[in-house]
Amino acid sequence: MGIDLRQVVAGILTLTMFVMLGQMIKRDHFDSLQDKLPGEAQDVQVDNANIIEKDGLVKPSKGSKGPWMKDSQELKPCWSRTTFDGIEQSRGYVTFSLTNGPEYHVSQMADAVVVARYLEAALVLPDIRGSRPGDERNFEDIYDVEKFMKSLNGVVKVVKELPNEISIRDLAAVKVPNRVTEDHIVENVQPIFKSKGNIRLATYFPTVNMRKTTQKSSVDSVSCLGMFGTLELQAEVSEVVDSMIERLRTLSRKSDGLFVAVDLRVDVLENKNCHGSGTNVAKSCYNAQEIALFLRKVGFDTDTTIYLTQSKWDNSLSVLKDIFPKTYTKENIMPEEKKGKFLEFEGSELEKVIDFYICSKSDVFVPALSGLFYANVAGKRIALGKPQILVPADIPGTSAAVMNYLAPYVAKKNHLAYSCFC
């Protein structure tokens, strides 16, 4: 029996379609661990290796080895301070803590500002608590207090501490979901506040989804301000981050000072629930070898400088360094005189802050892990005009067009940040 060439071609096309569909599912999985929300139309087309720009999203950076992209124009806040009514005399106090790293801080701050504004309450400057016992800090140890208070001037009254006559034991504990809504405040927070007069707020995270919604709310502008307009690093922390970025750029002379930041932490990778199994289960993380192969296949040269969020070197990372010799962790590039304070113990709030801001300012960001760190770094990068976020995937063959792996948050412009910035 002869072979029907048309059937062979049809079979190849069908197989190719399923491979492409699989890669799309895996990339979208990084953006949400819940059911998909409808996104906007794709903004980027790919024609072999040629990048076609639409709506000023991204374009290639000429003169550098590798698939580098230019920054786009830094976006401006859509919210305006003139839209906020002046605050009256505060009717009580809202206290809270920032916990578990800056990816949580930005969301916790947004919810606290929204609640305090709606209740017409004074917001007490939060403390900062890490996930480990003893990792407790004052707000000013990491963030700029004066800039924080100035950012909320006329929006929410901010005080540095509770009045002496109010005991912490008298505060009513209230939990709110991330991205708290006006309806939730009215039904679940306001009655307690009216009864007790003062509350201690805690944000919980039912999902890590940071996609924008079509529903508009009266608290949207306040939430945007709280998330993107309040937290700035204090001088010493900012100087350490800037010095590390400058060191990475110095090490990247052959690629015009450009570098890649990869959120890859061995302790998370060792979690048995990290990797999906089976052909139809999307992976939520990628190990060092998978990241190395992904970066090579999308076109990064072996001389590319890579920053890892892993605190200290682990032998499992050697396979990445074998392919990309210029791979570094914090201990390699932090100023020697700062290591005692900033690397006092692994996984501290200071380490997490350094990772968050370096990943936000790198030329390319690759999240080897899905979750809130990826989602909120993406928001920060979008605001800064740095949309070069590549979501890894298992790539068949020896090469692939880099734009196929642009984060859906950016390609579809469906991140919450696009509701806050214009």
Task: Output 281 or 256, whichever has higher pLDDT.
Answer: 256
Q: What is the CATH number of the domain that holds 374?
A: 3.40.50
The string of pLDDT tens digits covering residues 264-278 is 998 888 775 665 554
Q: Which domain holds residue 261?
A: 235-420
- Of 199, 229, 259, which residue is a domain's last? 229
- Of 207, 229, 251, which residue is a domain's last? 229
pLDDT of residue 289: 95
Residue 209 has pLDDT above 70, yes or no: yes
**Confidence grade of residue 345 (pLDDT, cut at 50, 70, 90):** confident
Domain identity same for 196 and 130: yes
Provide DSSP, 174-231.
EEEESS--HHHIIIIIHHHHHHHSEEEEEEE-S----B--S---TTHHHHHHHHHSS-
Which ranges constitute the DSSP H helices of 235-371? 235-250, 266-269, 288-297, 318-323, 330-333, 339-342, 349-361
Domain identity same for 245 and 175: no
- The mean pLDDT of 6-13, rounded to a whole number, is 51
Going by the DSSP 8-state scheme, the letter that residue 416 receives in this structure is: T
What is the SS3 assignment for 401?
coil
Residue 77 in domain: no
Q: CB–CB of 37/212 below 8 Å?
A: no
pLDDT of residue 356: 98
Residue 391 has pLDDT above 70, yes or no: yes
Residue 304 in domain: yes
Task: Please give the Cα distance from 310 to 316 (Å, whole number).
Answer: 11
Domain identity same for 268 and 244: yes
Residue 133 has pLDDT above 90, yes or no: no
Residue 58 in domain: no
- Of 229, 251, 268, which residue is a domain's last? 229
Domain identity same for 364 and 408: yes
The string of pLDDT tens digits covering residues 170-190 is 899 999 999 999 999 999 999
Computed over its alpha carbons, how large is the radius of gyration of the chain? Answer: 23
- The mean pLDDT of 64-83, rounded to a whole number, is 76
Q: Are strands 45-47 and 50-52 parallel, antiparallel or unpaired?
A: antiparallel
pLDDT of residue 6: 54
Residue 161 in domain: yes
**Which residue has 């720009």 as its token pair?**
53
**Confidence grade of residue 214 (pLDDT, cut at 50, 70, 90):** confident
Domain identity same for 219 and 251: no
Residue 223 has pLDDT above 90, yes or no: yes
Domain identity same for 145 and 164: yes
Residue 50 in domain: no
- The mean pLDDT of 386-414, rounded to a whole number, is 92
pLDDT of residue 168: 84
Closest CA to 156 of 188, 125, 200: 125
pLDDT of residue 358: 98
Task: Please give the Cα distance from 304 to 296 (Å, whole number).
Answer: 10
Computed from CA positions of residues 44, 47, 49, 53, in that sequence, does the dihedral angle turn out positive or negative? negative
Residue 87 has pLDDT above 80, yes or no: no
Task: Output 56 or 375, whichever has higher pLDDT.
Answer: 375
Task: Please give the Cα distance from 265 to 303 (Å, whole number).
Answer: 22
Residues composing the chain: 422
Residue 198 in domain: yes
**Angle (deg, nearest 10), helices 372-384 and 102-119:** 80
Residue 55 in domain: no
Computed from CA positions of residues 117, 119, 120, 125, in that sequence, does the dihedral angle turn out positive or negative? negative
| CA distance to 16, 19, 114, 158, 206, per residue, from 12 (Å) | 6, 11, 54, 63, 42
Domain identity same for 316 and 411: yes
- The mean pLDDT of 98-102, rounded to a whole number, is 94
Task: Please give the Cα distance from 312 to 124 (Å, whole number).
Answer: 36
Domain identity same for 256 and 343: yes
Residue 74 has pLDDT above 90, yes or no: no
Structural domain total, the chain: 2
Q: CB–CB of 298/49 below 8 Å?
A: no
**Confidence grade of residue 70 (pLDDT, cut at 50, 70, 90):** confident
Domain identity same for 346 and 241: yes
Residue 150 has pLDDT above 80, yes or no: yes
**Confidence grade of residue 27 (pLDDT, cut at 50, 70, 90):** low
Domain identity same for 187 and 313: no
Q: For the whole model, what pTM was predicted?
A: 0.84
Residue 66 in domain: no
The string of pLDDT tens digits covering residues 306-339 is 999 998 888 999 999 999 999 999 999 999 999 9
**Confidence grade of residue 94 (pLDDT, cut at 50, 70, 90):** very high
Domain identity same for 196 and 338: no
Domain identity same for 367 and 395: yes
Residue 411 has pLDDT above 60, yes or no: yes
Long-range Cβ pairs for the range 297-300 (8 Å, 24+): 297/395, 297/397, 297/398, 297/399, 297/400, 298/67, 298/390, 298/395, 298/399, 298/400, 298/401, 298/402, 298/405, 299/66, 299/67, 299/399, 299/402, 300/66, 300/67, 300/260, 300/324
pLDDT of residue 52: 32
Provide DSSP, 59-123.
-BPTTSSSS-B---PPP-BS--GGGSPPP-S--SEEEEEEESSHHHHHHHHHHHHHHHHHHT-EE
Query: Cα 345 vs. chain centroid, distance in angstroms?
Result: 23
pLDDT of residue 64: 54
